[in-house]
Amino acid sequence: MRIVIPLYERFTALDAVGPYEVLSRLPGASVVFAASSPRSVRTDTGSLALVADAAFAEIDACEVLVVPGGPGSRDAVLDPALVAWVQALHQTTDWTTSVCTGSEILGAAGLLRGIEATTHWSRVDALESFGATYTARRVVVQGRVVTAAGVSAGIDMALTLAALIAGSDVAKAIQLGIEYDPQPPFAAGSVVAAGPAIVELVRGGAATR
């Protein structure tokens, strides 16, 4: 089972690595990171690069496509080669998925028109501009299109997908393998839980890059 994860400049690392860490553990899984050419691709912070071993042009089919998000997705949706490749690959997949603003790239490829989808909580309008209906659910399954909310939601999405692909016992074994028994020290992971003051901190960029 081939799982393809495209990278582009200024993607968010955890968007890609969360699902990779889960899906690479599926029996028979083979994960390929791809980019416009085989090269290292810098994340949004500039302090990390991941290696894409394959060029988009080398890959014309896969079972699972996982499109990460990040600040760079604003440029990526305007890259006709990337968008056309996503569109073409989607014709071959069992599952076409996104994490965070990766859903905008699915949107640009026309894959979200008239369906429910999710994205990072700060980018709802951008998502809906592609004809999707935003829902605040963390993982949204619509036929074979699966979108996840911001960044860390890719882990929950991938476990959901693992169960759909290989059954719940395999998904549970993967969850135990990565000891995913989350215990965040605060209840601040959603807009509602965090409250307006923390939302303002994030929007202002004061506490985060």
Smaller CB separation from a second copy, 17 or 88: 17
Residue 80 CB, shortest distance to a second copy, in Å, is 27
Per CB under 8 A, the list member of 59, 127, 151, 165 interacting with a second copy is: 151
Residue 133 CB, shortest distance to a second copy, in Å, is 19
Verify binding: residue 196, a second copy, rule CB under 8 A. no
Residue 21 CB, shortest distance to a second copy, in Å, is 4
202 CB burial (10 A radius; 0-12, 13-18, 19+)? middle
Per CB under 8 A, the list member of 35, 67, 139, 165 interacting with a second copy is: 139
Separation in Å, CA 19 to CA 65, 128, 147, 148, 153:
11, 24, 12, 10, 9
Verify binding: residue 191, a second copy, rule CB under 8 A. yes
Q: How far is CA 8 from the centre of its chain?
A: 12
Considering only residues 118-137, where is the footprint of a second copy by CB under 8 A? 120-121
Verify binding: residue 177, a second copy, rule CB under 8 A. yes
Considering only residues 42-101, where is the footprint of a second copy by CB under 8 A? 45, 47-51, 53, 100
Per CB under 8 A, the list member of 6, 8, 11, 33 interacting with a second copy is: 33
Known catalytic residue: 100? yes
Report the catalytic residues: 100
